[in-house]
Chain A
Amino acid sequence: MTTNIEAVVPAPADALRSRSLAALTWRRLFKQRNAIVGMAILLFLTLVAIFAPLLAPYDPVQSLLGIETLKEREAPCIHILGCPEDKPQHIMGIDANYRDVFSRIIYGTRVSLFIGFSTIGMAVVVGAVIGAVSGYLGGWVDNLIMRLMDVVLAFPSFLLAIAIITVIGRGLQNALYAIAIVNIPVFARLVRASVLSIKEQEFVSASRALGASNLRLLFVRIFPNALPMLVVQATLSIAAAILEAAALSFLGLGAQPPTPEWGTMLGSERNQVFTAPHLVFFPGLAIMLTVLAFNLLGDGVRDAMDPRLAQVAKK
């Protein structure tokens, strides 16, 4: 019975405002130059990832040794730039295992986007639960959890990720866990802060008075209000996560060969930079473009959600 009443009474703050606020935010987002460029790059990358098998001229892990006449680490051959027509075209060259670099870069898009979304996805879910519990319960639980988060934050995140990987072992999957773990405290703090600021507000007290359970309060009343900040932080964190994962792979701790991962490609050929710079140049460029897209989008979303900031920036 009580829940019925609760469902009938419109939540004053969100029901009326949220739709128009969301619409407003969307409209503002499309006015942000940063956000548009970021979204365009991201759309492009997503399409590349989805249609990788159609776009890539070769299999990313297949060695072309014996199939074509090639030299090890051969420089790019592009027909319109004067490479002889009778040679097979490899627009980003050939790597040490006689593989087509361009195909590997294309397939690498899948790996990098997956890394970005999965790590931050894990961090957001775990961080949000920890932060919500901590902020909602308060007291010694809150104190204990937050001091633990302080200790995690006391280590530079990249070094902590390296340390975690040495404990749980190398490999892409473990690198994902490590990056997810070091990102948890940021989201936990964010959610905790908004829980603290919202839980004493009147519409929450009203819900409570109407008999809503703790869980319902948390998910229906409190979480939606913390969402905008989470979205901004998550977008920017994805950029950092992709950069960190690539760096781990560069050091040989993340994705292992022959996975077409950009950081791994860069790391395994880093000593060849003086003789075959194309093997280092293209993977790095791909990492930069992807990270740039998320950074631009994150900045754009933040400005769109906080009109006050956007005005300052525009002034």
Chain B
Amino acid sequence: MSKYILRRILLTIPVVLGILVVTFVIARSIPGDPCRSALGERATEAACNAFNARMGLDKPIIVQLGIYMREILLKGDFGDSIRYSRPVSQMIIERLPVTLELGLSALFIAILVGVPMGVISAVRRNSAVDVATMVGANIGVSMPVYWLGLMLAYVFAILLKDTPFWLAPTGRLTAGLIPDAFYQVWGLGLTRGTTLYMLADFVSNFVFLNALITGQWDVFVDAFRHMILPAIALSTIPLSIIARITRSSMLDVLGREYVRAARAKGVAENLVILKHALRNALLPVITVIGIQVGTLFAGAVLTETTFGLSGVGRALFDAITGRDFPIIQGFTVVVALGYVIVNLLVDISYAYIDPRIRLR
């Protein structure tokens, strides 16, 4: 097993290097002049030369690639944003938590609703509940997430205005509400710029987690009320797919001999379903959940745009339109790396579930 995992990890190294190169090539192939896009249309030749020299854009392209690879691989440094003149790593610290919270909330909803729906569908096969679930699942995978998001925003912000069900259609927190970071609340004397400080900053940007461990309940509730609509919108596709795969996997397992044996020896039906059948049926479901993490990344771009959340997806989109190379490179690498890691975990879980794969 460990040999398989090691080999699988080694195999991702060329893919990661490929990602770095492809990202660099894509970022540099974007037409337009980064200097003019940062300093304005009427920047003088001299100003642009100075700018290019400062950013290292005057060096041969292959040298730029070398520097870029060295900085990322050895120092984890993605350079400074051309537009904002700030380290890209700092922007990742600020924005990645937003996307992760959105994605995890969506995944949480998808699993919490999708798995029980699939189980009920399978147990009550061909009943009205089953048909309704499967029709719903088919519609769910066909729905544009941004459309659902806008419709939800309309219903909850306009139609349900002046009711307790009103929900804010944009933003992460109500404007003006600034949560205290946990390291401030706890009085940890961290020095700015140190790795530990950056790590603490990253963790504190997870609004839910930060509010929870410091007991800022008003912030937690506010964050929850802002996150619920985007999370629901983003969860529809994974939810539908999880419900479908759970149903078919349960149907498969419920027909097995050991389930019949469990029933024959008089185990209560609920116990048969939850303990004997579901536990075995969940294996394929888990791998599908892993695969869905990738679609969540892509959906995050659209959901963040619709709901005005400043996450990774939104930042990447803005950077592409603004020709901000370092941001494009840094954020694409982060997203692609996340994708590679998830794929790696999926592959390893496959091997864990199905021993035959290890031997290949």
Q: Residues of A at under 8 Å CB distance from B?
A: 34, 147-148, 150-151, 154-159, 162-164, 166-167, 169, 239, 243, 246-247, 250-251, 263, 266, 270, 273-274, 277, 280-281, 283-284, 287-289, 291-292, 295-296, 299, 312-313, 315
Taking a contact as CB atoms closer than 8 A, the residue among B153, B316, B317 that contacts A273 in the complex is B153
Asked if A312 and B248 make an inter-chain contact with CB atoms under 8 angstroms apart, the answer reads: yes
8 Å CB contact of A280 from B15, B150, B339 = B150
Chain B minimum-CB-distance residue to A167: B29
Contact status B158-A274, CB under 8 Å = yes
Closest to A299 in B: B138
Whether A295 touches B302, Cβ cut-off 8 Å, given contacts A251-B317, A284-B151, is no
- Does B335 sit at the interface, judged by CB under 8 A? yes
| B residues in contact with A167, CB < 8 Å | 26, 29-31
Q: Which residues from 273 to 325 on chain B have a C-beta closer than 8 Å to any C-beta of chain A? A: 294-295, 297-299, 301-302, 305-306, 316-317, 320-321
For residue B34, give the distance in angstroms from its CB to the closest CB of chain A. Answer: 13
Contact of B142 with A by CB under 8 A = yes
Contact A155/B305 with A243-B142, A292-B138 known, Cβ cut-off 8 Å? no
Name A's interface SS: helix
Interface centre among B30, B138, B251 (most CB of A within 10 A): B138
Take A155-B336, A167-B31, A251-B302 as given contacts and tell me if A239 and B142 are in contact as well, using a CB distance cutoff of 8 Å: yes
A156 in contact with B317 (CB, 8 Å): no
Residue B213 interfacial (CB < 8 Å): no
- Taking residues whose C-beta sits less than 8 angstroms from the other chain, chain B's interface range is 35 or more
Q: CB-CB < 8 A to A288: which residues of B?
A: 139, 142-144, 147
Q: B19 an interface residue at 8 Å Cβ cutoff?
A: yes
Give the docked Cα–Cα distance between A155 and B334 (Å). Answer: 10
The binding surface of chain B is classed by DSSP as helix
In the complex, A151 Cα to B31 Cα: how many Å? 23
Judge if B43 is at the interface, Cβ distance under 8 Å.
no
The verdict on B255 contacting chain A, using a C-beta distance below 8 Å, is yes
Does A287 contact B14, Cβ atoms closer than 8 Å? Answer: no
With A150-B15, A277-B154 already in contact, the answer to whether A250 and B144 are too (CB < 8 A) is yes
Closest residue of A by beta carbon distance from B19: A154
Is B18 located at the chain interface by the 8 A CB criterion?
yes
Q: For A299, list chain B residues within 8 Å (CB).
A: 138
A125 to chain B, nearest CB (A): 23
- Check if A287 sits within 8 Å of B144, measured CB to CB: yes
Query: How many pairs of residues, A versus B, come closer than 8 Å at their CB atoms?
Result: 131
CB distance from A306 to the nearest CB of B (A): 13
Among residues of B, the one whose C-beta sits closest to the C-beta of A147 is B14
Given contacts A280-B147, A295-B142, 11 further A-B contacts (CB under 8 A): A243-B142, A250-B144, A273-B150, A274-B154, A274-B157, A280-B150, A284-B148, A288-B144, A291-B142, A291-B143, A315-B125
Given known contacts A154-B19, A159-B316, A280-B147, A273 and B154 CB-to-CB distance under 8 angstroms: yes
Which residue of B30, B142, B147 is within 8 Å of A166 (Cβ)? B30
In the assembled complex, the CB of B216 is this many whole angstroms from the nearest CB of chain A, namely 30
Q: Does B141 contact A (CB under 8 A)?
A: yes
Residues B245-264 near A (CB distance < 8 A) = 248, 251-252, 255
List 15 A-B residue pairs with CB atoms under 8 Å apart, sorted by A's residue number: A147-B18, A150-B15, A151-B18, A155-B336, A157-B298, A167-B26, A239-B142, A251-B301, A251-B305, A273-B153, A277-B154, A280-B151, A284-B150, A287-B147, A288-B147
In the complex, which residues of chain B have a beta carbon less than 8 angstroms from the beta carbon of A313? 248, 251
Partner of A151, one of B15, B143, B251: B15
User: In the bound complex, do residue A156 and residue B339 qualify as a contact, i.e. CB atoms below 8 Å apart?
Assistant: yes
User: Knowing A150-B15, A295-B138 touch, does A155 contact B151 (C-beta < 8 A)?
Assistant: no
A283–B29 Cα gap in the complex (Å)? 34
